[in-house]
Amino acid sequence: MSRLGRPVATGIDRVELAYLDRFLADHKAGGPALHALVRLSSFMVLLGADGSNQLAQMARAGLPLPAAGRWARLRFADNPLRAQAETAVYRLACRRVPSLLPNLLLRRLPVDCRYYNVGHSHLTPALFAALRRQGLRSSVLLHDVIPLDYPQYTRAGIPEVFARKMAAVAAGADRVIHTAQVTRQANEAQLRRFGRLPEGVVAPLGIVAPAPGPFHLPGLDPERPYFVAVGTIEPRKNHMLLLDVWERLGKRLPPERMPQLVIAGSRGWRNEEVFARLNAAPAHVIEAPGLDDAALSGLLTGAQGLLFPSLAEGFGLPPLEALALGVPVYVSDLPVLRELLGDTGIYLGTSDVYSWTETIFRALSASPRQRTAAATLREAGSTMAPFDWDAHFKTVLSNDW
């Protein structure tokens, strides 16, 4: 809800929409009733199937957000978009109660309801206690525990907030959904620290690469080779390495042979040195914040490859989506990426500037890329699992928990 109206969806946004789509489809096909539990700034609200469907459409920017109500405008005077989102969800709700009284909503639900939380939000002891009092079982999709394992990569204060959420999950969740075996190991190591380990299941996320669309990127010459890096410009994504690589390439190649580097992502946090280098307008490096899914797919389709030198990941959507588009992926040699990509990725050390430079240099001299999405998936063979939402939900929605 907090991201309603924003033009670009995050990875977690996509997962939430995939779940909402599945539950809506099941409901329309005569399956279980659907309710969406949303925490606003001062209220807890319940949406029925119709309200949930409208919420999904607004999340995709298919419907405009309504004008903000008076109270929301006062409450979020410095954040007009959040004021509109609060107003929209409040009006879609079929029931509303003060945020400290979730029992008043939950007791109206059937006793065989299941609660799914897939966005790392609203993970509080009060909510889990209310669910248990009503006899409702809960599943939490835990994308990763990077704020606890690598606090140096996050904003100030985030590790403490995240630790409180994980303590609530450990104490109150009935089941935790993990997206990879390696990620499960990291997640459960942290959950054990909080005294209880909920039941766990591994279900890789579905990969649906958006259809390529047109894009306009000032400064990019689409007739010259280019590589793309996708992700917020923050320490964990390791853009510094790519800037070092492009600096080295610039010393080896004449300007007319230099590849272009497109950084598709907004500036994030704790990355002042990288921002300073970008502000200096390095040659052949282009920032591209705010691309929608179709434009990003179009950009990737014409690229020589996706560059993904991340220092830590829980799943890694960009390389999997790039593979689905038939784009070669050059990635960090991380265990979770080895598990998910198998032999379809080109693996390089997270600090090995030399190897990244040489690999990209060789790629420029290779014959034109002929891979298609279908060919990429065929090449994956037995080393790459079928990443589709049907397989994910077959695991997650089984009747044995």
Segment 1-15 mean pLDDT: 79
Segment 238-245 mean pLDDT: 98
User: What is residue 7's predicted lDDT score, i.e. its pLDDT?
Assistant: 67
User: What is residue 102's predicted lDDT score, i.e. its pLDDT?
Assistant: 84
- Between 325 and 112, the more confident residue is 325
Q: Which helix (DSSP H) or strand (DSSP E) does residue 199 occupy?
A: strand 199-202
Q: If we measure between CA atoms, which residue out of 97, 81, 104 comes closest to residue 1?
A: 81
User: What is residue 2's predicted lDDT score, i.e. its pLDDT?
Assistant: 67
pLDDT in tens, 74-100: 899 999 989 999 999 999 999 999 887
Amino acid present at 290: G
Q: State the Cα torsion 278-313-81-300 to the nearest 10°.
A: 60
User: What is residue 374's predicted lDDT score, i.e. its pLDDT?
Assistant: 40
pLDDT in tens, 98-130: 887 888 888 888 888 999 999 999 999 999 999
For residue 261, what are the β-bridge partners?
Answer: 227, 285
Position 377 pLDDT exceeds 50: no
Position 383 pLDDT exceeds 50: no
Say whether 158 sits in a helix, a strand or coil.
Answer: helix
For the entire predicted model, the pTM comes to 0.92
- Between 313 and 368, the more confident residue is 313
Cβ(182)–Cβ(336) below 8 Å = yes
User: What is residue 291's predicted lDDT score, i.e. its pLDDT?
Assistant: 94
Segment 193-218 mean pLDDT: 95
CATH of span 226-383: 3.40.50.2000
114-117 and 226-230 as β-strands: parallel, antiparallel, unpaired?
A: unpaired
Domains of the chain by residue range: 1-16+33-99, 110-204+389-401, 226-383
Segment 131-147 mean pLDDT: 96
Q: Which residues contact 89 (CB under 8 A, 6 or more apart)?
A: 1, 4, 38, 40, 45, 47, 55
User: What is residue 147's predicted lDDT score, i.e. its pLDDT?
Assistant: 98
pLDDT in tens, 338-376: 999 999 999 999 999 999 999 999 999 875 544 444 444
Cβ(270)–Cβ(235) below 8 Å = yes
Task: Give percent of the chain above pLDDT 90.
Answer: 78
CA distance 392 to 401: 15
Segment 301-325 mean pLDDT: 97
- Between 64 and 389, the more confident residue is 389
Axis-axis angle for helices 49-59, 80-92 (nearest 10): 160
Segment 192-213 mean pLDDT: 95
Position 319 pLDDT exceeds 50: yes
User: What is residue 401's predicted lDDT score, i.e. its pLDDT?
Assistant: 63
Cβ(200)–Cβ(184) below 8 Å = yes
User: What is residue 370's predicted lDDT score, i.e. its pLDDT?
Assistant: 41
User: What is residue 399's predicted lDDT score, i.e. its pLDDT?
Assistant: 65
Segment 260-264 mean pLDDT: 98
User: What is residue 378's predicted lDDT score, i.e. its pLDDT?
Assistant: 39
Cβ(344)–Cβ(379) below 8 Å = yes
Cβ(313)–Cβ(144) below 8 Å = yes
Position 64 pLDDT exceeds 70: yes
66 half-sphere exposure, CB direction, 13 A CA radius: 13
Mean pLDDT of the chain: 91
- Give the Cα-Cα-Cα angle 165, 2, 152 (nearest 5 degrees): 50
User: What is residue 6's predicted lDDT score, i.e. its pLDDT?
Assistant: 74
